[in-house]
Each structure stands twice: as structure tokens, then as C-alpha cells.
């Protein structure tokens, strides 16, 4: 019997680099990274991708993107939301 284990977070840091075109700063293992003034954090068993503004002393949650089978698709949606906020 062959068992298959999938972990979206295992590909998370590399996918962030591909989608955002920059090397992210890894914050919490492979579950949270910072790109510019925004932290991207996987939560709820890697089913939620939170976009968190980190410019001030407090964090501000901007939005949440659902993570399906493809972490890169969720990151692309996150990038589009961030581009639309300015």
C-alpha cells in the first residue's frame, strides 16, 4: 500500500518566491513569510492564507484567501488583492 502525504506549506516559501518575484523573509518555519510590509501566513491546517499588514507596531489583517489544491493559485489571488489595495 502506498500512502500519499501532501503538505501545502512544504512548497509555500518557494511558491511565494515564484509568484512575488522576490525572496521572502521566513518568519515561522515554513508557515509564515514576509514580503515587503505584508506577512503571508498559513493557518487552519494550511487551508487559509492570511494577508497581514506589518507596517506599524500592531498587525492588521487585510484579507484571507482560501487555499485549495494549488498553493500558487492562492498566492496569485493574494498578490492581486494586494495590488488592488494601493
CB 52 within 8 A of CB 36: no
Q: Does any domain span residue 2?
A: no
- 74 lies in a domain? yes
Q: Is the pLDDT of residue 4 over 80?
A: no
Residue 43 lies in a domain: yes
- Between 9 and 43, the more confident residue is 43
Number of domains within the chain? 1
Is the pLDDT at 75 greater than 90? The verdict is: yes
Would you say residue 36 lies in a domain?
A: yes
- Within-domain flag for 55: yes
d(CA 82, CA 18): 16
pTM, 2 dp: 0.81
pLDDT at res. 86: 57
Q: Which domain holds residue 69?
A: 8-85
DSSP labels, 14-77: HHHHHHHSSPPEE-STTSEEEETTEEEEEETTTTEEEEEE-SSSS-EEEEEEE--S-HHHHHHH
Question: Could you give the maximum distance between any two Cα atoms of the chain, in Å?
Answer: 51
Amino acid at each position: 500500500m502506498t500512502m500519499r502525504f501532501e503538505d501545502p506549506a512544504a512548497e509555500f516559501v518557494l511558491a511565494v518566491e515564484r509568484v512575488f518575484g522576490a525572496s521572502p523573509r521566513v518568519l515561522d518555519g515554513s508557515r509564515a513569510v514576509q514580503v515587503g510590509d505584508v506577512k503571508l501566513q498559513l493557518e487552519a491546517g494550511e487551508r487559509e492564507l492570511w494577508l497581514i499588514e506589518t507596517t506599524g507596531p500592531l498587525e492588521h489583517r487585510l484579507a484571507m484567501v482560501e487555499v485549495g489544491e494549488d498553493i500558487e493559485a492562492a498566492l496569485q489571488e493574494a498578490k492581486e488583492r494586494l495590488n488592488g489595495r494601493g
